[in-house]
Amino acid sequence: MANHFDKQMSEGRKADRRKLVLLGTSACFLLLLVVGAVVGSAYQDDHGGDGDGSNLSTHAMRASSKSVTALCSSTDYPQTCETSLSKAVPSDTEDPKVLLKAAVSVVLDGVSRGFEHSRLLQSNDSRVRGAVQDCQEMYEDAKGNINATLRSIIDHGVDKLPARSHDMRTWLSAVVTYQQTCIDGFPEGELKEKMKDAMKSARELTSNALAIIGQASSFLSLINLPSRRRRLLLADHHNRRPLATNNGYPSWFSKDDRRMLKERINLKPTPNVTVAKDGSGDFTNISEALAKMPAKYQGRYVIYIKAGVYEEQVIVTKKMVDVTMYGDGSKKTIVTGSKNFIDGTRTFLTPTFLAAGDRFMAMDMSFRNTAGPEKHQAVALRVASDMSVFLNCRMEGYQDTLYAHAHRQFYRGCVISGTIDFIFGDAAAVFQNCLLVVRRPLPNQQNIVTAQGRADRRETTGFVLQRCRFRADNGLADASQPAIRSYLGRPWKEFSRTVIMESQIDGFVNKDGYMPWEGNFGLSTLYYAEYNNKGPGAATADRVKWPGVHVINREEAVRYTVESFLEGSNWIPATGAPVRLGLNS
């Protein structure tokens, strides 16, 4: 996938070619080296656990130092890279799979030590004990992503590596996210600093893995292995069996949007089970329906949720893949809760609804957290599901409404409301044709729509808001109330990335556009970009003059379309979701 560092990488390809020629290495040997290096870095970086080549590392030999140096030259931590890759493979093998297994043992061991360190942090503070629990959950999630990367390389073969690069970098980006989530769970102080130090090696290794996998595609292309060609699809795509829609779209949607929606009305998928508060379905609550889902169900498991207010905390676990939920409309089918930080629940555990299983899909329903602004962090929806889709849904809260935690996410026609950082996280998420409603916070607070948390520049993550509208709700717009400053975003982490394009920005947004997190943190490393927006709040002349803030041209904006940023043509049309893969203009 493209990002603002791609240009530097492409300029380095000629240099890489010259290095390969100078090395005089055969194509076969180069291929094995690249594959071994990819996994070696990817797995040392990522973390520890159940690699089946764990005892191969004791027979390791030193790889060609010149080759390793060339391979590590594009990483941000070359010394860590070279040290990790010096442990290679048995000298008598040229089997790529053996190379991969040998490298996994080195990597998993290194990364596991970072996560396992959390177990050593003893404290009577309930916040610390809770953080340790969260770290162990993140450990399992990270391990799953590392193993998925390994399986992708082994199962699909070396020649498919360029085509699978985006998937692998997505999974490894999630590993970075989970490492940072573990650290963030600790209260400020000595133990948090110790956790940061423990994760240092793992973070560097993961970053190097992302760099190596990215450059491996370039290396392989030099020896004429097949690579996938991408095409930018500018039209809206629909599955032949469209899914349900909501009749509550904002009035500002265009005639083209409404015409498209009419093609989908009343075409709902047949449910496996029905949930109904009044007892007319198979279950009366959503959690019970999920608990009864067959453990090894093949295909899409569809849950229809009838109109009603469901007061429960719903968790779609990692094991619950390919789940679709749809309701009777985002104002009729409502999942609600009120867990919050002030009353003693860690932000990570406050979500009313958690979608963790891959390829989750929700339509025509609402996710609420009713704790209110005085309760501070109170998440309505947390999403860690890869290739997840939300259509015509509502996410309602105040601070931290939507936690777009990790992986690839697509939101279309949704209404998202809140106050402080109400769309936050480290996912690669595109919001298309969505209405972002900014509410009134507490008198001493300011509004910030986004707080994206990319912690490493190699990650594939970021928020893209395309053809959305930023609007103040009636309470915020009330001229009789004290004025509240509202901003488009602020950098939660050092490499925060948010792109707003082809959107309507109303005049309530402060002309600065963005506000700092703290001091100068991230101001030169973040990437905030705007393209072809309109409305009284879209003027960019008075935006903050930080190095990372940009007004981009069409060529740059294309990099953040659904097709380029999410490789969306590979998975979104198959869900039946309407999607604009390219730009609208």
Report d(CA 25, CA 498) in Å as an integer: 42
pLDDT of residue 87: 67
Residue 445 CB-density burial (10 A; 0-12 exposed, 13-18 middle, 19+ buried): middle
First-residue to last-residue Cα distance in the chain:
21
pLDDT of residue 68: 63
Ramachandran category for residue 574: left, alpha or beta (phi over 0 → left; psi -120 to 50 → alpha):
alpha
Cα of 371 vs its chain's centroid, Å? 26
Backbone angles phi, psi at 524, to 5 degrees: -100, -10
421 catalytic residue (yes or no)? yes
C-beta atoms surrounding 252 within 10 Å: 11
Choice among 16, 358, 400, 421 that is catalytic: 421
Report d(CA 340, CA 354) in Å as an integer: 15
Contact 310, 296 (CB under 8 A): no
HEC per residue, 249-285: CCCCCCHHHHHHHHCCCCCCCCCCEEECCCCCCCECC
Report d(CA 367, CA 276) in Å as an integer: 17
pLDDT of residue 548: 96
Residue-by-residue pLDDT tens, the chain, 585 positions = 434 334 333 444 444 444 433 333 333 333 344 444 443 443 343 333 333 333 333 333 344 455 567 667 888 998 887 787 676 444 444 443 443 343 334 456 667 888 888 878 878 888 899 999 999 999 999 999 988 987 887 777 666 777 888 998 999 999 999 999 999 999 999 999 999 999 998 999 889 888 877 776 555 444 444 444 333 333 344 333 333 333 444 444 445 544 444 444 434 789 999 999 999 999 999 999 999 999 989 999 999 999 999 999 999 999 999 999 999 999 999 999 999 999 999 999 999 999 999 999 999 999 999 999 999 999 999 999 999 999 999 999 999 999 999 999 999 999 999 999 999 999 999 999 999 999 999 999 999 999 999 999 999 999 999 999 999 999 999 989 999 999 999 999 999 999 999 999 999 999 999 999 999 999 999 999 999 999 999 999 999 999 999 999 999 999 999 999 999 999 999 999 999 999 997
Tokens describing residue 38: 């990819």
Report d(CA 85, CA 69) in Å as an integer: 10
Entry pTM:
0.83
